[in-house]
Structures are given as structure tokens and as C-alpha cells.
Amino acid sequence: MFSIKPAFAGINDDLYDGNMFVVYAGNGSLVPPRQTLAQTLVEHKPAFLAFYVDDSSDCKKYAIVISRVQEFYGRVAEIIPIDVDTIPVKAKYDPTEPGYYYSGGVPQVVVFNQSGKVLLNKKGQVPFEEIDDKFREVFDLLPRSESVELKRRSFNEFSSELAK
């Protein structure tokens, strides 16, 4: 008889248990990203880089924030999750390469405006509100204190729109 051992990975440990966006954020559409950073900068599109590794409890917990950024800004900005294990090791990086902005820790987020200027580059679990504030600057939106709260659409509301 063979016995199969159960998987012991979870959100509070540093074990690999698959694509963290699928498992913990319910959003498999984030990986792979639609465009590279170089393509996004050439098109003068705002961008959001999110550096992560799938086997980090901090990144697993942060996956929902990255997914939330995509939920609200994914149609107007390029959301680019970067697994740091895929960044090639080089002596020098070009500003169009993610390795240029990576500072050695995860999670890390970088927000670019339309002209490629970095507005936010921060390590750790950066709150959604701080990222939202930067995107509000990029898109010339009212500050959160003067605006309606961003809300997630209900599933039925979204489905009925698709049916039209």
C-alpha cells in the first residue's frame, strides 16, 4: 500500500503551494502579466509592479491587495506581478527592466505614471489606500476624502452587464 501525505502549506508559512494569486486572491489572471514593463513604458501607460515570491507568507497575505489593485485599476493601468526568482542576475539593469527597481525584499510595489516616473517604490505590505492615492494622482481623481468609496461590484450585477 502507498500512502499519500497531505500538503502542509498555508498562508502563514513559507512553503510553496502553487500560484499565490490563484490560491489566496482568487485571481489567476494576474500571472503571467499581459505586458512587460518595457512595452508599458513605450505605450506611456501607468504601471504597477508587484515583486513577490510564491513561497513567502508575507507575499501570500499580500496577494489580495495586488488583486484589489487590478480590480480597480486593471483596465487603465498595467498590473505587472514579478516573481523575483525570474529576474535574471546581471551587473546592471536598464530602466525598462524590473530588476532595475527591485531592492531585494518582498513584497515590494512600484507605481509609475504615464511618463514612466516612479511615484511610489516601497517594500513590505503597502496598504491598498496608499497605492490608491498614487493612482488617484496619476488619473487626476479626487482624493479619497472627497470621493465616493471604491466598491466591488456584486457578481450578479457584473453578470447581468455581460448578458446585455
> Which residues partner with 82 through β-bridges?
51
pLDDT in tens, 138-162: 999 998 888 877 666 655 554 445 4
Closest CA to 127 of 71, 82, 45, 68: 68
Residue 32 has pLDDT above 70, yes or no: yes
Q: What percent of the chain has pLDDT above 90?
A: 70
Using the predicted structure, report yes or no on whether residue 43 has a pLDDT greater than 70. Answer: yes
Taking residues 62-91, report their average pLDDT: 96
What does the pLDDT read at residue 34?
A: 93
Indicate the CATH number for domain 20-125: 3.40.30.10
User: 90-129: string of b/e by CB count within 10 Å (b at 16+)?
Assistant: eeeeeeebbbebbeeebbbbbbbbeebeeebeeeeebebe
Res. 21: pLDDT tops 50: yes
How many whole angstroms separate alpha carbon 77 and alpha carbon 81?
13
Closest CA to 46 of 5, 23, 78: 78
Confidence band for 124, pLDDT divided at 50, 70 and 90: very high
Whether residue 97 is predicted with pLDDT greater than 90 in this model: the reply is yes
In the predicted structure, residue 91 carries a pLDDT above the cut 90: yes
pLDDT at 78: 97
Please report the pLDDT score of residue 15 as a whole number.
Answer: 87
Cα–Cα distance for residue pair 50/126, rounded to 1 Å: 11
pLDDT at 164 over 50: yes
pLDDT above 70 coverage of the chain, percent: 86
